[in-house]
Amino acid sequence: MKSFVYQATPSRVVFAAGAVEHLPREIEWLGARRALVLSTPQQEALATNISQRLGQLSVGIYPRAVMHVPIEVARKARDEAARLGADCVVAAGGGSTVGLGKAIALESGLPILAIPTTYAGSEMTPIYGLTEAGLKKTGRDRRVLPRVVIYDPLLTIDLPVAMSITSGFNAIAHAAEALYAENANPITGMMAEEGIRALTHGMTEVANNPGDLDGRSDCLYGAWLCGAVLGSTSMALHHKLCHVLGGTWNLPHAETHTAILPHALACNYAAAPEAMARIERAMKTSNAAGGIFDLAKQLGASVSLREIGMKQDDLDRAASLVMEAPYYNPRPTTRATIRGLLDDAFFGRRP
């Protein structure tokens, strides 16, 4: 066996249909008494409901989270948390809301209790992102790792099917890259394979019947595992491509992951045979790249960058930006390889 370092991400996880009922108990477990509840404007009703459940343990709601955490939004939320004397934040929503919680925690050190309602997996990582002057910067800091995560599949029943599917592929992308990460290890390998298996099964169930609680539970369980492996391994070419496309052209996050993943896997296929074999076993497919592409199409997701707002004229610049500060990748890449990959993803060609 190769030698390795495994960094656990020590969160307390409470997983059950109806688990949100345990919220007051979990706030008390944190030793907190003054929770500020965060959400996006679209999920304000959820934030209000959670604040009501908390009663005197809540100091109010802040329903202003937006995607990619603009620094101005982060500053206002930090000020509000300080003004209200909050001693913890409850982030109820997807990666954007968890991201706002992380921006508060990064400066104040306040503990985060996350209640994820998508499958993005951010709640299990010490990775934060902040956008300033049109540039998204990411970093790692243990202060931003949520201390408690409440996974309640009932809260994801209303996540629209299209978003459920792309969000699921976002999570699968974390696991796929963890399998061939520079610091991959046997523990993250097991979690990644199980996460991909659970999501593949869960997404198919959800596409057939969005109200299916077992399917929703499988997706959320898979999201947990995939998020956890993202949190303890480093990212590679796929995430680099998505960060460039999302940060510079503001393409939708989960949709970008869905369109890029088959091509990133095709690019790395020969260089990471063990990882590909594990993805294939988890998905019951004979080719990891083609299997991901086919499943995305079958579940109704967009598989081309042009469908989600990318312009063909910008592909040259995107390839240059990826090459400017490349991440580790199992297959060393050239600009021509990246440009070809982007072309395939732009037109949605089956790898």
Binding characters for ligand NAD, 153-182, by CB under 6 A (x = yes) = --xx-xx---x---x--x------------
Nearer Cβ to ligand NAD (57/207): 207
How many whole angstroms separate alpha carbon 253 and alpha carbon 321? Answer: 18
Q: What are the residues whose beta carbons fall under 8 Å from the beta carbon of 171, sequence distance 6 or more?
A: 119, 120, 121, 195, 199, 222, 223, 226, 227
Site for ligand NAD contains 188 (CB under 6 A): no
Site for ligand NAD contains 68 (CB under 6 A): yes
Q: Which stretch binds ligand NAD (CB under 6 A): 20-28, 74-82, 114-122, 182-190?
A: 114-122
How many whole angstroms separate alpha carbon 34 and alpha carbon 89? Answer: 8
Site for ligand NAD contains 229 (CB under 6 A): no
The strand pairing partners of 137, in sequence order, are 130
Q: What are the residues whose beta carbons fall under 8 Å from the beta carbon of 325, sequence distance 6 or more?
A: none
Site for ligand NAD contains 125 (CB under 6 A): yes
The CB-nearest residue to ligand NAD is: 95
Site for ligand NAD contains 99 (CB under 6 A): yes
Q: How many CB atoms are closer than 10 A to CB 267?
A: 24
The count of chain residues that interact with ligand NAD, using the rule CB under 6 A, is: 29
Please identify which residue in the block is written with the tokens 């083609």.
Answer: 290
Structure tokens, 244: 């460039």
Site for ligand NAD contains 268 (CB under 6 A): no
Q: Which of 11, 58, 118, 302 binds ligand NAD (CB under 6 A)?
A: 118
- Per-residue buried b or exposed e for 289-319, using 16+ beta carbons within 10 Å of the residue's own CB: bbbbbbbbeebebbbebeebebeeebbeebb
Site for ligand NAD contains 233 (CB under 6 A): no
Site for ligand NAD contains 127 (CB under 6 A): yes
Nearer Cβ to ligand NAD (125/287): 125
Question: What does residue 135 show for φ and ψ, rounded to 5 degrees?
Answer: -115, 125
Nearer Cβ to ligand NAD (57/65): 65
Stretch (H or E) spanning 289: helix 288-298
Binding characters for ligand NAD, 273-292, by CB under 6 A (x = yes) = --------------------
Structure tokens, 103: 């921006």
- Mapped onto helix, strand or coil, the DSSP state of residue 238 is helix
Nearer Cβ to ligand NAD (23/254): 254
Q: Which stretch binds ligand NAD (CB under 6 A): 103-111, 112-120, 288-296, 323-331?
A: 112-120
Binding site for ligand NAD (CB under 6 A): 40, 42-43, 67-68, 93-97, 99, 117-118, 120-122, 125, 127, 129, 155-156, 158-159, 163, 167, 170, 230, 253-254
